[in-house]
Amino acid sequence: MLLATLFAPLVGALALLLVSRDAKKALKYTSLTVSVVAFLFGLATLLNFDHANPNMQMLTMQGWIPSLDAGFRIGVDGMSVLFIFLTALTIPVVILAGFDSIKSQEKEFYVLILLLEFGVIGIFAALDTFLFYVFFELILIPMYFLIGIWGGERKTFAALKFFIYTMFGSLVMLIGLIWLGYYVQQTTGHFTTNLLLLREIAPTIPLDTQKWMFFAFMLAFCIKVPLFPVHTWLPDVQSEAPLVGTVVVGAVLFKIGIYGLIRFGLEMFPQSSFEYAKVMCALGAAAVIYGAMLAIVQTDIRRLASFALVSSLGTMVMGVFSMTPEGVQGAIIQTFNHGLSVTGLFLCLGMLTERRGTTLLADYGGIAKVMPIFAVFFAISLFSLVGLPGLNGFVGEYLLLLGTFRSPFLNNWTFGILGATTGVFVAIYMLKLYNDICFGGFKNDDSASMSDLTTKELAMLIPATILMIWIGIYPSTFMRFSEESTKALVGKLEIAKFGKTNYTETLKKLHKAPAAESEAHETHKGH
Amino acid sequence: MLYDIFYSLPISLSSFFCLTAMLLGALVPKNRSNIVMPYATIGLAIVFTFAALLWGRNGTAFNSMITTGMYPSFFDMLFSASGILVMIAARPYLQRMNWEFDEFYILILFAVSGMILMAHANHLLIVFIGIEVMSISFYVLSAYMRNQILSVESGLKYFLLGAFSTGFLLYGMALVYGATGGKMEYSAIRAAVSYGAQMPSLLLAGTGLIIIGLSFKVSAFPFHVWSPDVYQGAPTIVTAFMSTGGKAAAFAAFIQLSSVLIPNGGPDSTKLTYLLAMLSAASMLYGNIAACAQQNVKRLLAYSSIAQAGYMMIGIVSGTGRGTSGIMFYLGAYLFTQIGAFIVVSALEHEYGKQLEFSDYAGLAKRHPLLAGVMSLFMFSLLGLPPFAIFFGKYYLFMAAIEAGYTWLALVGILASLISAYFYLGLIVAMYFRSHETGEIHAAQPGMSGVTIAIAVAGVIFLGLVPAAVLRITGVLM
């Protein structure tokens, strides 16, 4: 199932190459079908996943480059399976959004979107650092073209800024990856990129060495998140990228960063995580306040939304580095929520700009009168971001703050209090945004003639909205998937730091290094 | 003797084909002269096959004058492959320039045979003869379009500077000969150097001069000055050949000589390795920084090839088996990528030296989606993005550097890669994000060069996805 989810988009992208570029309908519907199929596979993966088991599941271990011990190793645990599901869920919406808004070079667009999906799912599924890196870099190419070809006026600049920023992070990470493999070579005798093996050995690296590797990885993921102060690519990309690109960045890309912080930060380098948790949380808190302050004064809708993203990502980073089950799970579910809300919000904003071609707040006002249905969906997305109880945002926000307050690692209420300010800020700028757009008189005569949502636009918004309400009311449908894995992770961290934990039950279920047997299996296959 | 001949078949065969091709060109009537090119191509294919067949026959031949076996066989295959790829693509280019003569193919054959001699050398004189045969062919090939001022200038520049650098090389060899007490054969020199030379300062000077001479051939900073002008002025198809096959041959000799003259634990090895590391770092940074300022695609690729030489030198610096096999992999990956990129450039070059500016590439994605797509693939590979071939070479070389304690060199490498993103992407920006503004538009006619491009694309993707296939070959050497 996992393999099918991973490869469906790639196969689809290759198949699309064969479709003639003039057959626009065929291009559109083939790509939509492919993405829906990938989503169904993703759903099947989720349903097949045994959530009581905190180990990696659905493993595929295949030898690839013997001299590096790199392999095609994929598998999922409770955290990554959720990430994969959401990605597969978002892409059909993105493709649907592209139907109207992409008017040139359609073929390239659909091929790139599917390639992007392939890369992102690959990142979450990879259990091999080499494979992980390949996927991590692979997504740069489609993102670069998405921004550069269909973007706004300063698209070249935005695309280049994005590319160089992320490439800088990932190259530093590459050195970290090689160094890590080399460290293993010194202790066990041979170089490896096997993540299952590395995460057994990496925590034993002395702090002096470990911290540098930790920095290398954190730099890459903080850029990807993006965390203050390396967030500056985001506003440019968000305001220059085409609508669909904005949704992809806002709903999919930053998940990679959060996922990386958990997988490569907490799991691989626990001692460094303890050591620098306060620094990371302080950066998170700074992001919360800084992002919010900037969001309040923006006059451009897209820039406002992107600073809002910077701000709420701050709370997620704090949740991750609180190293409590609530915090980590909150971060995961919040990326999920945030993806949904941001997709909804950006789709709404996109629909506005499609109609009017402007992203300046001053050009709108009184829209609720002419577009009542739009106003409802827009409100739901906004309130989910604000964290209104009953909608998904509340659940995530609550867990994040709870985790930050209760964290035995941080042992400090300041971070929780700073993080909690996000609730106030977000209400200020989001309600202001809603007020400026939907209420008041028309500030521009064109507003009067705007038409309400079309069926296609409804089809884009409804799935996301249903999920927002679902998670708001009954979050455990999704959260149970990540529960055991999170507890296992936190249990290990607590044992490393305090020597005791409340999650011994979960830890007992963990297998010790399944890598050893897979190793024998691989060498067998390799020859 | 019989064994000697048999094991050194790639050398003798390539020389044989050179001479017979020349005769063929002279004897066959002019109006039916298009036979030399197929003959030369088939000849190189035969050399390729024999190189593959002689794989694994490690040893020396002709009184230890030449080595046989895996290392030279790998390079033989590399050289003949680059010769074949270039010759296939050369015909449509030369015909468009209205300047197709048999001598072109014969010169390429000569260059290849010189390269093969370099890879097989186990003796200072043999390597010198190889370098000369190759370089002289290159001088002539650069000036091949003798009705074009740029080409003539490029040939002359290359010749003058090349002859000068050869002087350094030869002088260095003479000093080494003296310092080691009259040793010319590699293993004897290595033994003498490790044991401690009779005149250490002479040896050091000789080694330094040889490093300078070879750095010139691989176009490493600060001995790169010739390469942008020569690469720009020479016919594009020749540049494709010089910058891949020529560089590979120079590295084949460089790897051998550096392991001979700078053996691990030798008297000055730390100092000299440090010197090489500085050259490598400077080449990576200089090549990529200078390339950022270029508006001419050929010059851009020339500067980027300086940087690529810098990356490959990391392998020499590390001095380990992993480093060597990393360079060899890199050379293979670089061969496909660079030849592919230059052939795309040559397919777009409608008149000699025209249609080479960034502005000519604007909007290429709309006019020639396929060529633009392929060119971006080559650019991504040069940039070192996975899953394309060169990424893996970089990975391996950085690994070798970290292993050998040269982490700082790997860090310089990533910094240089980051800088290179600017101009490699710049070309993609031109092709995809801009539209054509001024000047007339000529449709490209790749013709047969499409075959070369297709092979190059296949190679770039194959080496990127299945690097183990080549590593199994180069890894044997570790």
The tens digit of pLDDT for each residue in B86-95 reads 999 998 899 8
B395 touching chain A per CB within 8 A: yes
User: Is the preceding peptide bond at B92 cis, omega within 30 degrees of 0?
Assistant: no
Q: How far apart are the first and last CA of chain B?
A: 30
Q: How many CB atoms lie within 10 A of CB A489?
A: 26
Q: What single DSSP character describes residue A445?
A: G
Q: B440 falls in which pLDDT band (50, 70, 90)?
A: low
Query: Are residues A250 and A309 in contact, defined by beta-carbon separation less than 8 angstroms?
Result: yes
B109: nearest Cα among B37, B9, B189: B37
Distance (Å) from the C-alpha of residue B447 to the closest C-alpha of chain A? 22
Structure tokens at B375: 């060119």
Q: B439 falls in which pLDDT band (50, 70, 90)?
A: low
Per-residue pLDDT, averaged over B121-129, amounts to: 94
Residue-level pLDDT at B441? 67
Distance (Å) from the C-alpha of residue B226 to the closest C-alpha of chain A? 30
Per-residue pLDDT, averaged over B34-60, amounts to: 89
Residue-level pLDDT at A517? 42
- Rounded distance between C-alpha atoms, residue B319 and residue B404, angstroms: 8
- Rounded distance between C-alpha atoms, residue A312 and residue A337, angstroms: 11
Structure tokens at B195: 């044991």
Structure tokens at A435: 């007020």
Residues in B closer than 8 angstroms to A179, CB to CB, are 402, 407
Instruction: Inspect the interface and report whether the beta carbons of A159 and B380 lie closer than 8 Å.
Output: no
Which has the minimum average pLDDT: A376-390, A444-458, B203-217, B392-406?
A444-458
Per-residue pLDDT, averaged over A328-348, amounts to: 82
- Dump the DSSP string for B105-126: HHHHHHHHHHHHHHHHB-BHHH
- Rounded distance between C-alpha atoms, residue A74 and residue A58, angstroms: 8
Mean pLDDT of chain B: 90
Per-residue pLDDT, averaged over B213-218, amounts to: 94
Structure tokens at B456: 């190059």
Distance (Å) from the C-alpha of residue A275 to the closest C-alpha of chain B? 25
Q: A523 falls in which pLDDT band (50, 70, 90)?
A: very low
Residue-level pLDDT at A300? 78
Instruction: Inspect the interface and report whether the beta carbons of A156 and B433 lie closer than 8 Å.
Output: yes
Tokens 């491009």 -> residue: B453
Residues in chain A: 527
Residues in B closer than 8 angstroms to A522, CB to CB, are none
- Indicate the pairing of strand B59-61 with strand A70-76: unpaired
What angle, 0 to 180 degrees and rounded to 10, lies between the N-to-C axes of helices B467-475 and B449-465?
Answer: 80
Question: Is residue A385 exposed (0-12), middle (13-18) or buried (19+ Cβ within 10 Å)?
Answer: buried
- Rounded distance between C-alpha atoms, residue A131 and residue A270, angstroms: 23
Which has the minimum average pLDDT: A337-341, B16-20, B102-106, B189-193?
A337-341
Q: How far is CA A448 from the centre of its chain?
A: 37
- Rounded distance between C-alpha atoms, residue B230 and residue B301, angstroms: 12
Give the model confidence (pLDDT) of B367-383 as tens digits.
888 899 999 999 999 99
Instruction: Inspect the interface and report whether the beta carbons of B386 and A134 lie closer than 8 Å.
Output: yes
Q: B32 falls in which pLDDT band (50, 70, 90)?
A: low
User: Residue A66: which of B385, B410, B468 has the nearest Cβ?
Assistant: B468
E-strand spans in B62-190? 66-68
Mutation pick from B325, B414, B415, B424 vs chain A, by most beta carbons of A within 10 Å, is B414
What are residue A73's DSSP bridge partners? A61
- Rounded distance between C-alpha atoms, residue B128 and residue B423, angstroms: 36
Give the model confidence (pLDDT) of A146-173 as tens digits.
888 887 778 888 888 888 888 999 999 9
Give the model confidence (pLDDT) of B293-322 as tens digits.
999 999 999 999 999 999 999 999 998 888
- Is the pLDDT reported for residue A34 higher than 50? yes
Residue-level pLDDT at B438? 62
Instruction: Inspect the interface and report whether the beta carbons of B429 and A65 lie closer than 8 Å.
Output: no
- Dump the DSSP string for A26-70: HHHHHHHHHHHHHHHHHHHHHHH--TT--S-EEEEEEEEEGGGTE
Q: Residue-wise over B357-389: b if at least 16 C-beta within 10 A, else e? A: bbebbbbbbebbbebbbbbbbbbbbbbbbbbbb
Kindly tell me the number of DSSP H helices and DSSP E strands found in chain A.
23, 2
Q: Which residue has the higher pLDDT, A242 or B414?
A: B414
Per-residue pLDDT, averaged over B182-210, amounts to: 87
Q: What percent of chain B has pLDDT over 90?
A: 62
Mean pLDDT of chain A: 83
- Is the pLDDT reported for residue B31 higher than 80? no
Residue-level pLDDT at A194? 87
Q: How many CB atoms lie within 10 A of CB B53?
A: 12
Query: For residue A291, which phi and psi values (nearest 5 degrees)?
Result: -60, -45
Q: A521 falls in which pLDDT band (50, 70, 90)?
A: very low
Query: Are residues A273 and A183 in contact, defined by beta-carbon separation less than 8 angstroms?
Result: no
Q: A524 falls in which pLDDT band (50, 70, 90)?
A: very low
Say which residues have a Cβ less than 8 Å from residue A59's Cβ, sequence separation at least 6: A73, A74, A75, A127, A514, A518
Give the model confidence (pLDDT) of B272-301 as tens digits.
999 999 999 999 999 999 999 999 999 999
- Rounded distance between C-alpha atoms, residue A163 and residue B316, angstroms: 31
Query: Are residues B227 and B310 in contact, defined by beta-carbon separation less than 8 angstroms?
Result: no
Say which residues have a Cβ less than 8 Å from residue A111's Cβ, sequence separation at least 6: A13, A16, A17
What are A374-378's contacts with CB under 8 Å, separation 24+? A374/A348, A374/A452, A374/A453, A375/A438, A377/A344, A377/A348, A377/A453, A377/A461, A377/A465, A378/A345, A378/A348, A378/A434, A378/A437, A378/A438
- Is the pLDDT reported for residue A108 higher than 80? yes
Instruction: Inspect the interface and report whether the beta carbons of A67 and B468 lie closer than 8 Å.
Output: yes
pTM score: 0.90
- Rounded distance between C-alpha atoms, residue B221 and residue B225, angstroms: 8
- Is the pLDDT reported for residue B30 higher than 50? yes
Size of interface A-B (CB pairs under 8 A): 81
Q: What letter represents residue A106's amino acid?
A: E
Q: What letter represents residue A371's amino acid?
A: M
- Is the pLDDT reported for residue A522 higher than 50? no
- In B, minimum Cα distance to A168 occurs at B418
Query: For residue A76, which phi and psi values (nearest 5 degrees)?
Result: -135, 150
Which has the minimum average pLDDT: A265-269, B141-145, B329-333?
A265-269
Distance (Å) from the C-alpha of residue A506 to the closest C-alpha of chain B? 37
Q: How far is CA A429 from the centre of its chain?
A: 23
Q: What is the torsion angle, in degrees rounded to the nearest 10, for the CA atoms of residue B414, residue B418, residue B424 and residue B427? A: 180
Per-residue pLDDT, averaged over A2-10, amounts to: 88
Query: Are residues B429 and B359 in contact, defined by beta-carbon separation less than 8 angstroms?
Result: no
- Is the pLDDT reported for residue B356 higher than 50? yes
Residue-level pLDDT at A189? 80
Which has the minimum average pLDDT: A102-106, B123-127, B173-177, B309-313?
A102-106
- Rounded distance between C-alpha atoms, residue A331 and residue A313, angstroms: 9
Give the model confidence (pLDDT) of A300-325 as tens digits.
777 887 888 888 888 888 888 888 88
What are A350-358's contacts with CB under 8 Å, separation 24+? A350/A97, A350/A101, A350/A243, A350/A244, A350/A246, A350/A247, A351/A453, A351/A457, A352/A301, A352/A437, A353/A243, A353/A301, A354/A100, A354/A101, A354/A243, A355/A450, A355/A451, A356/A446, A356/A447, A356/A450
User: Residue B432: which of A68, A133, A148 has the nearest Cβ?
Assistant: A148
Q: A400 falls in which pLDDT band (50, 70, 90)?
A: confident
Residues in B closer than 8 angstroms to A164, CB to CB, are 418, 421-422
Per-residue pLDDT, averaged over A484-499, amounts to: 83
Q: Backbone dihedral region of B353: left (phi > 0), alpha (psi from -120 to 50 degrees) or beta?
A: left
Tokens 């409608």 -> residue: B350
- Is the pLDDT reported for residue B346 higher than 70? yes
Residue-level pLDDT at B41? 94
- Rounded distance between C-alpha atoms, residue B70 and residue B73, angstroms: 5
Q: What letter represents residue A65's amino acid?
A: I
What angle, 0 to 180 degrees and rounded to 10, lies between the N-to-C axes of helices B297-318 and B321-348?
Answer: 170
Q: What is the torsion angle, in degrees rounded to the nearest 10, for the CA atoms of residue A237, residue A238, residue A242 and residue A247? A: 120
Which has the minimum average pLDDT: A343-357, A480-494, B332-346, B360-374?
A343-357
B380 touching chain A per CB within 8 A: yes
Per-residue pLDDT, averaged over A85-90, amounts to: 84
